[in-house]
Structure 1
Amino acid sequence: MKHTGFAIAHLGMLLWALLIAASFSAAAQVSQAIDPVLLTGLRLLFCALVFLPLLLFKGDATMTRNGLLGHAVLGLLLAVYFGSLFEALRYTSAVNTGTMFTLVPLLTLFFEAVLMPDSSLKQRVVPMLMAAAGAVLLVLKGTGPGELPSLYAVSVYGAGCLAMALYSPLSQRLKAGSLKGRGPVGMTFWNMLFGALFLLAFCGFSGGWRSASLLTLNDFGWLIYLALFATLATFWLLHRAIGVITPSSVISYIYLSTLFITLFHWLWLRQSPLPLEIIGAVLVGIGMLALLMSSRRAMPATVRG
C-alpha cells in the first residue's frame, strides 16, 4: 500500500467525522412532523440520483445477478439500521442510542475477524475499547439515573447496530468476490439505491409517505444539504477508505465525531468542560491515535478510486 493512499484515506475519514458531527445540527432544522424514515429514504434516493451521471461516466453501471444481490444485501443493512434507529427513538432518548452506537466499532471488529481473519486484529482491541470508553463518557454527560432504555428499544436498535457493524466488513468481503472491481462510486450508488427502495417501501406500508405533504421549501433545502454532505459525501469517503484502512478502524472514526461535537460545545457555545468530558476526550484521542498506528502496521490492499 502506498503511504500517500494511507494518508489520503485517513484525511478523508477525518473529514467524514466532521461531516457526521455537523449533520446532527442540520437534521434538527428539518420539521419533526415529517416521518424520519421517509426523510432518510428520500436522502438516500437523492444521493443515488446525483451519483448516477458519474456512475455512467465511470462505466460502473453494468451489473451481474450476484452483484445485484450483493448490493441488495448491503442496502438492506442500511435500511435496517436507519429503520431501527427511528423506531428506537420513539421509546428512548438520543443519548441512549448514542451510547449503544459506541458498540458498533467493536462489533465491526468481531465481524471483521469472522469474514476477514487477520493477525493484527488483536492489536486494535485495546485502543478501540479505550476510544469507546471515552465516547461513552462524552455521550453520557448530563443523563439521569432514570433514563435507562426499554428492553424493546435495546432489542430493536441492537439489531440495527449489528446491521451497521456488518456493513463495512461485508462490503470488503463482497468486493473480493461478486463485487470485485467495484469502485467507491459504484458501491455508494447501488447500496444507497437499494437502501432507499427498502425504506420507501416500508413507508408505503406504514403510511409514513403521507407526511411528505408537510415538506416546506426550508425542509427541502436542509434535505438537499443532508443528502449531499451528511449522506453522499460520507458514504463515498467511507467506501474510499474501506480496503485502505481496516473496516473496524474506519468505523471507529465515529468516536471522533463525538469528540468534535463536544469541542463545538466547548469552543463555540462556550460551555465549561466537565471533568468526565475531559477524561473522555483524552481517552478518545489516545485510542484513535493507537488505532491509526495499528491500521498503518496492518497495511491492507488499496482500493480503486
Structure 2
Amino acid sequence: MLLFAALIAGSFSFGGMAARHMDAGPLTLWRYLLTVLVMGLLTFAVLRVPFSLPRRIWRFAILGGLIAVYMVTMFTALEFTSPVQTGAVFTLMPLISAGFALIFIGQRTRPDVLSALIIAALGAIWVIFRADVAAILSFDIGTGELIYLVGVICHGAYVPLIRKFGHGENPLAFGFWVIVFTIPWLLPGGAVPLAETDFAALPLTVWATILYLSVVTTALTFMLLQYASMRLPAPKVLGYGYLTPTFIILLEGVLGNGWASPAVFVGALVTAAGLLVMGLLRD
C-alpha cells in the first residue's frame, strides 16, 4: 500500500496536466477503454487466469458505478483546484471508509485506530483550507474540493464492498470485471466528446498521462487494492493514502509546478504521521 500511495500521487499531478486539454467525461472514458485492454491482456493472456463470465453481475455494476463517479469527479475537480488540494481530500477516505465498513460488513474500527484517523483527517482539513484559519472557521471550501469529496465518498464505500461482494473469485479477474462495468456509466457523458476529439492535436503530456493512468494507476493499483482489501481492515487499507499529499507536494515541486507553502506542508506531514501511528497498531 506504500506503493499504492506513491502511484496514486502521480495520478493527481499528471491528471491535472491532462485536465487542461480534455474534459473529465471523455478523458475518463478513454482511460478506462485502454485499461480494459491492458487488464484483459495481463489477466487472461499473461497470467493465464481462466476466463469466465461473472456471476451476479449487479455486484460489478455497483462497484463500477462507484469508481466511475470517483474518477469523473477527480478530473472535474482538477479543473478547479490544485493536485495538492485534491490529494488532501483523498486522505479523508480512510475515515469515510471506516464508517461504510461498519455499515456494510459490521467491521468496527478500534478506538486507537479511529484516533489516528481523526488526527490525520485534521491535517488533511488544514491542507484543504490552504492553512487558512479564517477559511476553516467560515467553512470556505473550494468548488473543486466539494466536487471531489463526492467521489471520495463513493471510493470510501467501494473498499468494504470489495470484501462484501467477493465470493472467492480470482482478484485479477474480479478487478477486470469491475473495470468493464465502469465503462457503461461513463458512456453517456464521454462517448460523443471522445469520438469528436482531435487526437492528433493533443499534446504529448495528455498521451503520456493516459498511458500512466491506464497502465499504472488503474491496472496496477487495482491489483494492489484488491490484494490489500482481502487482508487488511478497510480503514488501514486506505490509511496509506495519508502519504498522498506529501508525495504530491514533492512531485509538483520536481515537475516545476511550484512548491506548497510551509504551513500547508506541515498539514501534509500530520496526515503522514497518522499513517505511522496506524502502521504501529495491530490489525
Q: Same fold (TM over 0.5)?
A: yes
> Could you tell me how far apart the structure 1 residues matched to 2:263 and 2:236 are?
27
Specify the code of the residue in structure 1 equivalent to 2:141: L
Is 1:111 matched up with 2:100? Answer: yes
* Residues 70 and 151 in structure 2, CA contact (< 8 A), matched pair in contact too: yes
* Residues 47 and 192 in structure 1, CA contact (< 8 A), matched pair in contact too: yes
Counterpart for residue 209 of structure 1: 194
> Could you tell me how far apart the structure 1 residues matched to 2:49 and 2:259 are?
50
Alignment of 1:163-174 (within 5 A): 163-174=154-165
Q: Deviations over 1:277-304 (max 9, x none)?
A: 33x244223311221233xx22xxxxxx
Of 84, 91, 114, which residue of structure 2 is paired with 1:125? 114
Instruction: Please report the TM-score for the alignment, with normalisation by the length of structure 2.
Output: 0.81
Counterpart for residue 301 of structure 1: none
> Could you tell me how far apart the structure 1 residues matched to 2:260 and 2:22 are?
35
> Could you tell me how far apart the structure 2 residues matched to 1:99 and 1:133 are?
10
Counterpart for residue 48 of structure 1: 36
Cα distance change, pair 72–60 in 1 and its aligned pair in 2 (3 A): farther
Counterpart for residue 223 of structure 1: 210
> Could you tell me how far apart the structure 2 residues matched to 1:266 and 1:221 are?
19
Counterpart for residue 125 of structure 2: 136
Worse overlay, 210-219 or 38-47: 210-219
* Residues 103 and 132 in structure 1, CA contact (< 8 A), matched pair in contact too: yes
Q: Deviations over 1:153-199 (max 9, x none)?
A: 83x54443321111000011111xxxx12233112211112112321
Specify the code of the residue in structure 2 equivalent to 1:231: T
> Could you tell me how far apart the structure 2 residues matched to 1:29 and 1:253 are?
24
> Could you tell me how far apart the structure 2 residues matched to 1:31 and 1:166 are?
25
Alignment of 1:260-271 (within 5 A): 260-264=247-251, 271=259
Counterpart for residue 187 of structure 2: 200
Query: Which structure 1 residue ranges, 5 or more long, are not aligned?
Result: 1-12, 299-305
Task: Return the offset for 1:264.
Answer: 4.5
Is 1:243 matched up with 2:230? Answer: yes
Counterpart for residue 53 of structure 2: 63
Instruction: Please report the TM-score for the alignment, with normalisation by the length of structure 1.
Output: 0.76
* Residues 31 and 214 in structure 2, CA contact (< 8 A), matched pair in contact too: yes
Of 238, 258, 265, which residue of structure 2 is paired with 1:277? 265
Is 1:79 matched up with 2:79? Answer: no
Q: Deviations over 1:13-34 (max 9, x none)?
A: 1111111122233224437232
RMSD of aligned alpha carbons: 3.1
Q: Give 3-state SS (helix, strand or coil) of 1:182's partner.
A: coil
* Residues 129 and 141 in structure 2, CA contact (< 8 A), matched pair in contact too: no
Of 146, 151, 155, which residue of structure 2 is paired with 1:160? 151
Counterpart for residue 232 of structure 1: 219
Counterpart for residue 15 of structure 1: 3
Residues matched between the structures, number: 273
Worse overlay, 45-54 or 74-83: 45-54
Task: Return the offset for 1:202.
Answer: 2.7
> Could you tell me how far apart the structure 2 residues matched to 1:157 and 1:267 are?
25
Worse overlay, 134-143 or 36-45: 134-143
* Residues 93 and 149 in structure 1, CA contact (< 8 A), matched pair in contact too: yes
> Could you tell me how far apart the structure 2 residues matched to 1:261 and 1:31 are?
16
* Residues 102 and 108 in structure 2, CA contact (< 8 A), matched pair in contact too: no
Matched-pair identity in %: 27
Of 9, 12, 24, which residue of structure 2 is paired with 1:36? 24
> Could you tell me how far apart the structure 1 residues matched to 2:255 and 2:164 are?
41
Counterpart for residue 302 of structure 1: none
Q: Give 3-state SS (helix, strand or coil) of 1:253's partner.
A: helix
